[in-house]
Structure 1
Amino acid sequence: MAYRPTEKTRAHMTKQRIKLLDAAKSIVSQEGFNGLTIKKVANYSGLAVGSVYKHYQSKNHLLEQVYCELTEQDLLLDHGQIFTSNDPNEQLTTALEQLFSRALMSDKLSYALFAEPLSESIEQHRFRFKDQFKQVFIQIINQGIKQGRFLNQESHIVASAIMGTLNEATLIPLRWQHQQMPTFERIKLIQQCQQFCLRSITYSGDEASFFK
């Protein structure tokens, strides 16, 4: 007769899984994905290495789960708040503020989620994750062009440029090395990124002057 786990066993396994995932997220937040090992997760969680493999087939499987958990936990944009207004300028301002303030919330974690070199399978998750952001900006920019609020521009290229700005911005806090980036410096970084993107997209002057 095949073994059937009891309700108590299932609850225990769920508790273990949450404990392991929390330990893994703490490690990534402090050391990035390259600092994550099965042994380290076991030590952080107080569980045996064998317990980790009961829940995760491999280190890469664990990395994928951690990446998805971290990105879905705090970083997804709040569409309801962004599209409360029908004004593309206001939508863009809100979306950029959300993106940069959430994505740059911590030094090592920001770099790990957006820029750290990772395996191909996790890069696919990252691509889909970033694409969710880009689709929001493409929608806002296209609406702004249609309403005559923004100059004509290739929205998909501009959306990619926004993400490129974010990627580079995640490197700046790492320059503080062994100390956390001061709060006032982090706020300034977020504001500068937001203003740079806003000015680039909403510019309404003479484009010909750029090429003189």
Structure 2
Amino acid sequence: MAYRQTDKVAARLADTRRGILNAARALVAEGGFAALQMSEVGKKAGVATGTLYRYFSSKEALCRELFREVSSREMSVLADIASGDGSASERLVKVLRTFAGRAVRARRLAYALLAEPVDVNLAEERAFFRRTHAEIFARILEDGIESGELPEVDVRIAAACIAGAIPTALVGPLAPQSHELDGDTGRVVGEIVNFCLRGAGIAHAAGANDIDERRTMA
């Protein structure tokens, strides 16, 4: 008779896998992907280092899964806002402010996701999620143009520019050695938001300097 995994065993395996990912995320949030060593993940998760390889074939596989998971959660937050109520400009402000605001509140994790030098596999993941960012902005711009609220622009190019401007602007402030965010984080967020709004044809929007009080990066 073929072995069938019981619900109890499946739940235990899922819990262990979840614990490994949580431990890996905590290490990256403290010191970036460079701090993610399998032996340290094992210690933090409370499992033997050898056990990690039953769930993830390599450190690279663990990093890739973690990158996908955290980035997907961030994309989900932004996509929910983009498809919500409000005018196109209101939704654009909320998405921009949430993206930048969550990053500055979880600066080490955000720097790892957005800018830390990584291997080719993670670079591919980063490029994929950059395109996903652009698609979110494109949908808002299309809504605004269709309603007559926003001026006619090449949506694909404008969305790509906005999606690229945010992480590029955040690289310096988020860097581990930077102290730019030690003081007025609202100013940094506001400058990024207002620059992107001008690129979309909006001179300024109320609340651009406010940081969304949603939870930080997952």
Asked if Structure 1 and Structure 2 have the same fold, meaning a TM-score greater than 0.5 normalized by the shorter chain, the answer is: yes
CA deviation profile, 1:49-96 (whole Å, cap 9, x unmatched): 111011111111111111122123345334454344463222222222
Partner residue of 1:188? 187
More deviation, 67-76/16-25: 67-76
- Rounded Cα–Cα distance in structure 2 between residues aligned with 1:90 and 1:44: 42
- Rounded Cα–Cα distance in structure 1 between residues aligned with 2:83 and 2:3: 51
Partner residue of 1:97? 97
> Aligned residue pairs: how many?
203
Q: Please state if 1:115 is matched with 2:112.
A: no
Partner residue of 2:141? 141
- Rounded Cα–Cα distance in structure 1 between residues aligned with 2:123 and 2:143: 30
- Rounded Cα–Cα distance in structure 2 between residues aligned with 1:5 and 1:90: 49
- Rounded Cα–Cα distance in structure 1 between residues aligned with 2:181 and 2:123: 27
Partner residue of 2:77? 77
Cα–Cα, structure 1 residues 78 and 29, in superposed 2: closer, same or farther, change >3 Å?
same
- Rounded Cα–Cα distance in structure 1 between residues aligned with 2:126 and 2:139: 20
Partner residue of 2:155? 155
Three-state SS of the structure 2 residue aligned to 1:170 is helix
Quote the RMSD (CA, aligned, Å).
Answer: 2.6
Larger CA Rg, structure 1 vs 2: 1
The gaps in structure 1 that reach 5 residues or longer are 205-212
The gaps in structure 2 that reach 5 residues or longer are 204-218
- Rounded Cα–Cα distance in structure 1 between residues aligned with 2:134 and 2:121: 20
Q: Please state if 1:14 is matched with 2:14.
A: yes
Partner residue of 1:172? 172
The offset of 1:153, in angstroms, is 2.2
Partner residue of 1:132? 132
Three-state SS of the structure 1 residue aligned to 2:200 is helix
Q: Greater relative contact order: 1 or 2 (C-alpha under 8 angstroms, separation 6 or more)?
A: 2
The offset of 1:44, in angstroms, is 1.8
Cα–Cα, structure 1 residues 97 and 148, in superposed 2: closer, same or farther, change >3 Å?
same
Cα–Cα, structure 1 residues 12 and 32, in superposed 2: closer, same or farther, change >3 Å?
same
CA deviation profile, 1:107-161 (whole Å, cap 9, x unmatched): 2111111222322322332222222221121122233334443333222222122
The offset of 1:193, in angstroms, is 0.7
The offset of 1:3, in angstroms, is 4.3
